[in-house]
Amino acid sequence: MVHMERYPEIRTKGRILMGPGPSNVHPRVLRALSAPVIGHLDKEFLEIMNLTKELLAKTFMTSNELTIPISGTGSAGMETSLVNFIEPGDKVLICVKGLFGQRMADIVERCGGELAVIQGEWGKIIEPDEIEKALKVHPVDIIGIVHAETSTGVLQPIKPVAEIAKKYGALLVVDAVTSLAGTPVRVDEDGMDIVYSGTQKCLSCPPGLSPVTMNKRAEKRLASRKNKVQSWYLDMTMLHSYWSKERFYHHTAPINMIYALYESLRIIHEEGLEARFERHTLHSNALKAGLTAMGLKLFAQAGYQAPMLTSVEIPKGVNDASVRNHLLTDYGLEIGGGLGPVKGQIWRIGLMGHSCTRRNVMLVLTGLEEALLSQGFNVQRGAGVSAAREVYEAT
Ligand code: PLP
């Protein structure tokens, strides 16, 4: 006999999600999730798959035919984007300037790739010159780099890296988990070969799918593999036959997650990509101005700060956990702490998708001011919200 009182129904009231992801999910997406399950080869579902593919390609700003959501979180997209292109002995250069670059490097080794790393500083970009210098000495087949490094809040310019990759005949794999739909990810225009993302950041969908896109150069390389892709589940050739006209059964698509992604993409394109980017920039500018006016120091390199994720240094003597707890208890608001070498040193404040609003900017600034004052940190009352308001009024 199972004592059911031990297992109550889930009754979470939700939170204001302003951490490094997940972000708040639009009510329309939640509604789509609860639509009835239908067969994954049902005509109606196949049509939703087709439309999802089309909207995804528009979100990646690409005409790549090979554009699908992988079943699995952003890490599944990362693994798909590497495991399909690396054969044992292939030379791979990974640019590491935070946690997610490190993970790419780990996957390369697991695939038997010959790994080279450019180790950057956390909080800074990797200068394209450094990549070119490395390639001159040590040519590689593949380069991996993170666009918006969620562990630091740095936005890495991709176009110059793509130009270098092309010049040296390497395929470029880009992590756009945090950046997609919050800042331009111009796959075709900037010349990215393989790009992956995740649903729970600026797409404002629950975690569970990882959109990927691959261009003709990548397709050619996939077709010329000597060995089978090491992962059966993430083998792009098989996945693509399921998502293309052949409809060759590979695995049962997570039907309701595809509904959710489809609805979130509809919301994105109703708003318009450019308007969405502007919204992220505006609220990010207001937040950054507010934090600075409160006497806090932004962590990411000036000029390369991601709009959807602001990293800010924790002042000396302020207790990281107590501040985050204060925000959670009194405001139901979640922000993120630092990871790895910056654990306890920074906060990461997300403004992603549906969470990216003026209300949330004002709320986090108000809550932070209160929490910092309670810790004895000297903040001029109202300075943060006034500075943010000025940004809004000037726009
Ligand atoms: N890459 C980046 C830049 C991320 O921010 C994340 C998650 O936060 C991932 C990859 C991994 O995604 P997931 O946690 O959805 O597997």
Tokens 């250069």, residue located: 93
Whose alpha carbon is nearest atom 14 of ligand 1?
74
Both structure tokens of 161: 């890296």
| Mutate-to-test residue for ligand 1 from 150, 156, 199, 257, highest number of ligand atoms within 8 A of CB | 150
Is the separation of the CB atoms in 100 and 175 below 8 Å?
Answer: yes
Given CA atoms 144, 145, 147, 153 in this order, what sign does their dihedral have?
A: positive
Residue 295 Cα to ligand 1 midpoint, Å, equals 30
Q: What is the predicted pLDDT for the residue at 82?
A: 98
Does residue 207 line the site of ligand 1, with CB under 6 A?
yes
Residue 232 Cα to ligand 1 midpoint, Å, equals 22
Q: What is the predicted pLDDT for the residue at 246?
A: 87
Mean pLDDT, rounded, for 142-157: 98
**Which candidate, 369, 358, 351, places its Cα nearest to that of 395?**
358
Whose alpha carbon is nearest atom 5 of ligand 1?
150
Q: What is the pLDDT of residues 92-110, one digit of tens each?
A: 999 999 999 999 999 999 9
Residue 52 Cα to ligand 1 midpoint, Å, equals 21
Both structure tokens of 172: 């470029």
Mean pLDDT, rounded, for 135-158: 98
The ligand 1 atom nearest the CA atom of 20: 8
CATH architecture of the domain with range 273-394? Alpha-Beta Complex (3.90)
What is the C-alpha to C-alpha distance for residues 107 and 109, in angstroms, rounded to an integer?
5
pTM: 0.98
Q: What is the predicted pLDDT for the residue at 245?
A: 87
Is the separation of the CB atoms in 49 and 206 below 8 Å?
Answer: no
Confidence of residue 67 (pLDDT cuts 50, 70, 90): very high
Residue 82 Cα to ligand 1 midpoint, Å, equals 15
Q: In whole numbers, what is the pLDDT of the chain averaged over residues?
A: 97
Kindly tell me if the per-residue pLDDT of 365 is higher than 90.
yes
Does residue 100 line the site of ligand 1, with CB under 6 A?
yes
Q: What is the pLDDT of residues 330-354, one digit of tens each?
A: 999 999 999 999 999 999 999 999 9
Q: What is the predicted pLDDT for the residue at 307?
A: 98
Q: What is the pLDDT of residues 236-288, one digit of tens each?
A: 999 999 998 888 999 999 999 999 999 999 999 999 999 999 999 999 999 99
Does residue 75 line the site of ligand 1, with CB under 6 A?
yes
Kindly tell me if the per-residue pLDDT of 185 is higher than 90.
yes
Mean pLDDT, rounded, for 68-81: 98
Confidence of residue 378 (pLDDT cuts 50, 70, 90): very high
Is 257 strand, coil or helix?
helix
Residue 309 Cα to ligand 1 midpoint, Å, equals 13
Q: What is the pLDDT of residues 9-66, one digit of tens each?
A: 999 989 999 999 999 999 999 999 999 999 999 999 999 999 999 999 999 999 999 9
Q: What is the predicted pLDDT for the residue at 220?
A: 96
CATH 3.40.640.10 domain extents, the chain: 27-269
Mean pLDDT, rounded, for 302-310: 98
DSSP class per residue in 8-70? PPP-----EE-SSSPPPPPHHHHHHHTSPP--TT-HHHHHHHHHHHHHHHHHTT---SEEEEE
Residue 272 Cα to ligand 1 midpoint, Å, equals 25
Confidence of residue 371 (pLDDT cuts 50, 70, 90): very high
Q: What is the predicted pLDDT for the residue at 265?
A: 98
Residue 182 Cα to ligand 1 midpoint, Å, equals 15
DSSP class per residue in 138-150? S--SEEEEESEET
The ligand 1 atom nearest the CA atom of 78: 10
CATH 3.90.1150.10 domain extents, the chain: 273-394
Does residue 21 line the site of ligand 1, with CB under 6 A?
yes
Does residue 209 line the site of ligand 1, with CB under 6 A?
no
Mean pLDDT, rounded, for 365-378: 96
Tokens 């992590």, residue located: 175
CATH architecture of the domain with range 27-269? 3-Layer(aba) Sandwich (3.40)
Q: What is the predicted pLDDT for the residue at 85?
A: 98
